[in-house]
């Protein structure tokens, strides 16, 4: 069995010679395998298609996918019309449990949530869909009672959106006004205190940072009186402490309600979820939701790239982790020594830094709570902010990717990147950066049309494309799925090693920092009041300092060696604290 997918956004029939129809062998023999519909776009008959793949290779806009599927996936749960995306299976929300979804972007998670919230009626691959047909299909299953409540319009849904940067565009008033509108349960005062929002309730939504917006969105979702809560990515722009705090809040909601969570920070998903559905397939083509799995089993199978129960390989190679911290490299040449400096803002926040040295070709991780001065530190190094005390004469060229990316350049992606540097079209850059990050499929897109994850990958590419001695990347994991984070990690690390370039990366994803960094710069202090940047430390010393400040210990999974958060006051937690090993606890 095969399905044919046409990406209508990419398809440009007025700018091509209809190569898909012209070179199709079945069309040449007289069959109507490919015809052009009234909207000018091609329609591909899945019954007549032989799967030769010629149309895929001939399409100048990479708009066609022909995908072979097993017979078990003959009937989709929902399909967006002929040659449209197909979803197979649904996650099952369970009262009293947090259900997680783990999978790449574009695999149908949002479609599944639209169905579960009642905004989309599943059509099972046919034209139109009715709730009577849905109830008949799910009779005798765990989803029957759920969809019966949806069909009767008696199910109340509360949803936290994925892209929180759209909130200021829809709401311009004060934060307190937005929170008051959503406080159905009368618990907003408690949520404001728990999520540390008291200092921003009187500020306008448009003035909030990404981390503040994220916590406001989580509070607004949690305050509604609903039967089904859906949280789409709680981790972007939040530090580890805030992520764990929000995870505990969501777990409390799940004690009485059904909660569904999409999360790409595997350490937080591991801590947060009770069961996990793994989503796999072809982004933009089709997606399959597995039956629920135990959270540890699901994450480990996903990292290994193979799902034994489904007998499906979702990745050609496993994502692996180092058990021991990297060794200290004393023979590496120093790129630059920087002196101590300080910066104070009118709002009262003050940043101080120790002097330090940056090595040639290394990747430096930067960790610390939000509001502690990490972005200010990067901006001073990049020359965008002048320090009040101390002078930086580093005499090196720097390329900088900021934390918040503006999509205000009305230009196609390919022309934007080519305008930055000739290096973009080099065979090395195309092979080592552009193809791994999947940028080729975005070439024809205008920058303001990109999603958050797409814009992030373009910004990372633009940063690495510039000729520089040092590359500064502020939160490159935001809005990226697990696969993309892993690939970005490999791209940055290989780029630094192969070109002898130095990179500094600010991020809150422990998995990404673990795989990427050779040394750490740890920030301490009081958020929004005072920050102190220490000199670069080894991964062992840096992680111990950072996690001891956050009062968190991590253990290693015995199977995959991935980091896992220890439960507070558990045996391992107490044992590691007594040894002073908050992160790299050696496994006997």
List pLDDT tens digits, range 22-63. Answer: 999 999 999 999 999 888 999 999 999 999 999 999 999 899
284 and 386 together in one domain: no
CA distance 79 to 149: 23
DSSP string, 14-32: GGS--HHHHS-HHHHTT--
Q: How far apart are CA 367 and CA 331, in angstroms?
A: 25
CB atoms within 10 A of CB 207: 11
Q: How far apart are CA 192 and CA 189, in angstroms?
A: 5
Residue 376 has pLDDT above 80, yes or no: yes
Tokens of 561: 């060696």
Q: How confident is the model at residue 328 (pLDDT cuts 50, 70, 90)?
A: low
446: in domain:
yes
Looking at 333-389, which runs of residues are DSSP E strands?
334-338, 342-344, 350-353, 356-359, 363-367
CB-CB contact of 145 with 167 (8 Å) = no
At 392 the pLDDT is 73
Q: Is residue 537's pLDDT more than 70?
A: yes
Q: Is residue 169 classed exposed, middle or buried when 0-12, 13-18 and 19+ CB atoms within 10 A define those classes? A: exposed
φ/ψ of 322, rounded to 5, equals -85, 135
The total number of structural domains in the chain stands at: 4
Which pLDDT belongs to residue 330? 53
pLDDT higher than threshold 70 for residue 588: no
| Distance of alpha carbon 538 from alpha carbon 264, whole angstroms | 27
Q: Is 523 contained in some domain?
A: yes
In a domain, 546, yes or no: no
What whole-number distance in Å separates Cα of residue 480 and Cα of residue 488? Answer: 9
Q: For position 233, which CATH number holds?
A: 3.40.50.300
* Residue 108 sits in the same domain as residue 198: yes
Does residue 368 lie within any of the structural domains? Answer: yes
* Cα–Cα distance, 509 to 367 (Å, whole number): 10
Residue tagged 């499929």 (tokens): 441
Whole-number Cα distances in Å, 116 to 77, 305, 314 = 12, 28, 25
* Nearest partner of 227 among 257, 203, 186, judged by Cα: 257
Confidence of residue 522 (pLDDT cuts 50, 70, 90): very high
302 within a domain of the structure (yes/no) = yes
Q: Could you tell me if 246 and 376 lie in one domain?
A: no
Residues 120 and 220 grouped into a single domain: yes
Does residue 325 form part of some domain?
no
Residues 156 and 46 both lie in one domain:
no
Residue 363 has pLDDT above 90, yes or no: yes
List Cα–Cα distances, 291 to 108, 183, 378, 548, in angstroms.
Answer: 15, 34, 44, 38
pLDDT tier, 587 (very low <50, low <70, confident <90, very high otherwise): very low
pLDDT digits (tens, 9 = 90+) for 466-493: 999 999 999 899 889 888 999 999 999 9
Q: Which single residue is written with the structure tokens 């629920």?
A: 292
Give pTM, 2 decimals.
Answer: 0.85
The arithmetic mean of pLDDT across residues 543-550, rounded, is 88
- Looking at 262, 279, 313, the residue that finishes a domain is 313
Checking if the pLDDT of 528 tops 90, the result is no
> Does residue 82 form part of some domain?
no
Nearest alpha carbon to residue 47 among 63, 66, 61: 66
246 and 176 co-located in one domain: yes
Q: Are residues 579 and 467 in the same domain?
A: no
Residue 237 φ/ψ region, left for φ over 0, alpha for ψ in the -120 to 50 degree band, beta for the rest:
left
Note down the domain range covering 271.
Answer: 87-313
- State whether 530 and 555 are in the same domain: no
Residue 584 pLDDT: 65
- Indicate whether 369 and 456 sit together in one domain: yes
Burial per residue of 129-159, b for 16 or more beta-carbon CB atoms within 10 angstroms, e otherwise: bebeebbeebeeeebeebbbebbeeebebbb
Token digits of residue 401: 């990717």
The DSSP result for 67-115, as a single string, is: EE--GGGSS-SEE-STT--EEE------BTSEEEEE--TTSSHHHHHHH
Q: What percent of the chain has pLDDT over 70?
A: 97
What are the pLDDT digits (tens) for 422-440? 888 899 999 999 999 999 8
């Amino acid at each position: 069995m095969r399905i044919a997918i046409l990406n209508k956004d990419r398809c440009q029939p007025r700018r091509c010679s209809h190569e898909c129809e012209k070179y199709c062998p079945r069309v040449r023999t007289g069959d109507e395998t490919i015809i052009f519909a009234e909207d000018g776009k091609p329609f591909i008959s899945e019954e007549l298609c032989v799967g030769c793949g010629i149309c895929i290779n001939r399409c100048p806009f990479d708009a066609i996918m022909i995908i072979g599927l097993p017979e078990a996936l003959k009937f989709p749960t929902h399909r967006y019309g002929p040659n449209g995306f197909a979803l197979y299976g649904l996650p099952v929300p369970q009262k009293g449990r947090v259900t997680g979804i783990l999978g790449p972007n574009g695999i149908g998670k949002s479609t599944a949530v639209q169905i579960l919230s009642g905004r989309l009626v599943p059509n099972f691959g046919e034209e139109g869909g009715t709730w009577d047909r849905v109830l008949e299909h799910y009779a005798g299953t765990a989803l029957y009672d759920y969809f019966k409540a949806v069909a009767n319009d008696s199910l109340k849904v509360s949803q936290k959106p994925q892209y929180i940067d759209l909130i200021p565009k829809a709401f311009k008033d004060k934060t307190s006004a937005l929170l008051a509108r959503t406080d159905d349960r009368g618990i907003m005062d408690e949520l404001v205190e728990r999520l540390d929002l008291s200092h921003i309730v009187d500020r306008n939504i448009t003035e909030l940072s990404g981390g503040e917006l994220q916590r406001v969105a989580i509070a607004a979702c949690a305050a509604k009186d609903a039967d089904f809560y859906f949280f789409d990515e709680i981790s972007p722009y939040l530090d580890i402490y805030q992520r764990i705090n929000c995870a505990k809040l969501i777990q409390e909601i799940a004690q009485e309600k059904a909660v569904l969570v999409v999360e790409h920070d595997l350490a937080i998903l591991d801590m947060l979820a009770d069961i996990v559905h793994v989503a796999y397939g072809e982004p933009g083509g089709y997606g399959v939701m597995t039956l629920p799995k135990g959270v540890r089993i699901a994450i480990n199978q996903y990292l290994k790239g193979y799902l034994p129960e489904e007998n499906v390989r979702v990745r050609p190679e496993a994502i692996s982790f180092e058990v021991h911290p990297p060794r200290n490299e004393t023979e590496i040449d120093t790129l630059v020594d920087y002196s101590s400096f300080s910066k104070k803002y009118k709002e009262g926040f003050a940043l101080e830094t120790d002097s330090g040295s940056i090595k040639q070709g290394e990747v430096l991780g930067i960790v610390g709570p939000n509001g502690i001065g990490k972005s200010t530190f990067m901006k001073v190094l990049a020359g965008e902010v002048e320090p009040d005390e101390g002078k930086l004469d580093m005499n090196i060229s720097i390329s900088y990717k900021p934390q918040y990316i503006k999509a205000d350049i009305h230009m196609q992606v390919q022309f934007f990147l080519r305008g930055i540097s000739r290096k973009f079209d080099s065979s090395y850059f195309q092979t080592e950066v552009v193809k791994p990050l999947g940028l080729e499929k975005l070439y024809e897109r205008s920058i303001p049309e990109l999603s958050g994850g797409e814009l992030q990958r373009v910004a990372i590419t633009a940063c690495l494309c510039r000729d520089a001695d040092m590359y500064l990347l502020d939160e490159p994991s935001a809005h990226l799925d697990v696969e993309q984070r892993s690939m970005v990690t490999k791209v940055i690390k290989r780029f630094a090693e192969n070109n002898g370039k130095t990179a500094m990366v600010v991020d809150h994803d422990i998995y990404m920092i673990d795989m990427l960094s050779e040394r750490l710069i740890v920030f301490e202090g009081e958020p929004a009041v005072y920050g102190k940047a220490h000199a670069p430390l080894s991964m062992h010393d840096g992680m111990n300092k950072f996690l001891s400040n956050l009062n968190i210990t991590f253990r290693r999974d015995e199977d995959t060696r991935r980091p896992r958060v220890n439960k507070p006051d558990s045996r391992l937690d107490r044992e590691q604290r007594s040894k002073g090993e908050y992160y790299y606890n050696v496994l006997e």
